[in-house]
Chain A
Amino acid sequence: MPEREFPEPGSDEPEGDLLSDWLRRTAAAMPDAPAIIEQDRVEEDRITSFGELFEQAAWLAVRFVEHGIQKQDRVALVLPKSTDAIVSVFASLLAGAVYVPVHPQWPKERIEATLADCAARLVIEGEGSPPRITDRETGESIPWHAAAAGRSDSCGEHLPPGGDADDPALILFTSGSTGRPKGVVVSHRAVGAFVKWSAREFHLCSTDRIACPSPLSFDLSTFDIFNMAWCGATCVLVPDHSVWMPRFLVQFVREARITCWYSVPSILAGMLEEGRMAQHDYPGLRVVLFAGEVFRGADVARLQSAVSQAVCANLYGPTETNVVTWCCVPRDFDGSQPLPIGQPCPYATVTMDATSGELLAGGDSLMSGYWNRLEDTQRAFVNVEGKRYYRTGDRVSRAPDGNYFFLGRLDRQVKRRGFRIELGEIETALASREDILEAAAVAVEDGKMGTAIVAFVRTRSAGAVSLLEAKAHCARMLPLYMVPDHIVFLDAIPKGSRGKIDYIALSKTAETLGHASPSQAATNQAATNQAAPDNGDQDRSPAVHR
């Protein structure tokens, strides 16, 4: 396979530096090399070369422009992770538009609200191939016609001239504490800074096979698809139905000869435990990166020993900043101490608020702001010595060697299986149901299961809402990863002297719930009843519902 014949990562790029230019250059340099491999449902791999990927994307981009799509218009991709979805990403970028990845399994209402929030001009959706492209205002559709035209030499000429690296490239929607997801606007420059650094640091090249385990709506996926475009590496899509099945994932890494893996720790923890990762060899696997949540020291050590030939590294940074610090796992890491989040990446500047211990992050990878939320954007940033920093909300400490350690959150944001969750959004969702008067949610550590979410609700009358109804309501309003594990019905939510919800008391109650095994549950019931004040569920004998 040809090595990169175009400018090396980090060198000056003559034509500006848009993510779409990367694909254009790579496709010109190595048109026949595989760009995307997708395992089909019928188990036949669909392989798309860089030439084909660029042609399809450019053909589609021209249709977008003909349709009247303007620079920085939003194109929403409500698509499963697929070749078509990645074609759509680059088609949007080549047309000068901003892509907005939306997970197709989000509840319908949430998807609609997101499309309305970002005022998407086009929506690309559908489970099958090819997807449907619809103009949201007029209802008109644009044909997909992937690859129908064959090699077309006119593709690139009808595309708008390149934009600015500070133009937005994508908007990622994350959980919002008031109940409405927030759109994080990310520029070409921000993605570029991270991707180019990672390519250099981990020596990624055209012979690499990078797995793509994350949904496109998750910032981790930018590493996979844009390193493909930047380095000419092959991006191997991990089928959505395998992502949480550890034993299939382990098999996937072996059979797809993955060389580079980047996911949340929860997925790796599953691969180590249920997937028995350590029992197999992965000769090609040379880079394993993780980010998004705390990876327990002991698990990190297990990972390092399971893939001893690979470089393992912890990458840190919220969606708003992408990765800003990182730490390579030492070969002799024994897991007795937590792994630091490390030291700043070269494109990032980080500092610590002296009073609160909050980590402040700035530099090229910073988001442009929240979409259409001026006040939130203003609150999110702070100026220190003339530089703009994002307030991460993460409390950290700094060791004498310069390494930062994550200590906890300053607010009520939690991570569950790597997904970022504002507990307030769960409360808002629960309270929006008829007959639920009040709701409070807390997160507890649930042993092997990781973080569990316990919601406490007060209903209009005892038994007005059943557990199944409450859960089903959450599933209609929230992504599945935000649906509480346990729901406890109370007569009154405990309050402090100023009338604010006493989350500390609720957390204590929640901790007594999570660890009860089925057999213990009945015997623990009495204790639980005492801990949970005034249980309101009268129609069934157990006082506390889970």
Chain B
Amino acid sequence: MEIKTAVRQFIAENVLLGIHQTTIEDTTPLVTGGLIDSIGMIGLVNFLETRFKVEFVPREIDVHSLNTLEQIDELIRKKLASQQAGAAGSGQQIR
């Protein structure tokens, strides 16, 4: 599953409305670069939760952890890994 591609696609469609082809690099700042603001963040988090079947907790919603595709990729991977570990260990354990 290519996390970055999916997120890039989401931003192209929903933030840039799909009509322009500016490429978002892995390190393009999304929040501090003025592409996603607080409301945009709600949409992004909803998308990530649905698409990757993860659940965020309040302290994970942070400019510093969701500012670039790279950071998002890392966070989602970490969450998926800990979910798997949790599921393997106790049957179900999602924080």
Contacts and interface: CB of A to CB of B under 8 A. Distances in A.
Interface of A: 41, 43, 105, 239, 241-246, 248, 252, 270, 274, 417, 449-450, 466-468, 471-475, 480-481, 483, 486, 516, 518-519, 521-522, 525, 540, 542, 544-546
Given A472-B29, A481-B38, A518-B14, A540 B61 contact: no
Contact of B34 (A41, A450, A474, A525): A474
Q: Which 9 A-B pairs have the closest CB atoms?
A: A475-B34, A244-B38, A471-B34, A518-B13, A483-B34, A518-B18, A542-B19, A248-B58, A521-B19
A253 to B, nearest CB: 13
On chain B, which size bracket covers the interface? 20 to 34
A471 B16 CA distance: 11
B31 interface: yes
A480 B17 contact: no
Contacts of B22: 466-468, 545
A480 B13 contact: no
A43 to B, nearest CB: 7
Interface stretch (B39-47, B72-80, B84-92): B39-47
B37 to A, nearest CB: 5
Contacts, number: 89
Interface core residue of B17, B28, B41 (most chain A CB under 10 Å):
B17
A544 B19 contact: yes
Interface of B: 13-14, 16-22, 24, 28-29, 31-35, 37-39, 41-42, 45-46, 58-59, 61-63
B58 A521 contact: no
Given A243-B38, A245-B58, A274-B42, A540 B33 contact: no
Contacts of B34: 471-475, 480, 483
B37 A483 contact: yes
A468 B42 CA distance: 21
A518 B17 contact: yes
A177 to B, nearest CB: 21
Interface core residue of A239, A245, A474 (most chain B CB under 10 Å):
A245
B50 to A, nearest CB: 13
B18 A522 contact: yes
Contact of A468 (B14, B35, B45, B58): B35
Contacts of B45: 245
Contacts of A481: 37-38
A239 B39 contact: no
A546 B18 CA distance: 9
8 contacts: A43-B59, A239-B59, A241-B58, A244-B39, A467-B16, A471-B34, A542-B21, A546-B19
Nearest to B10: A518
A466 B35 CA distance: 13
A521 B58 CA distance: 33
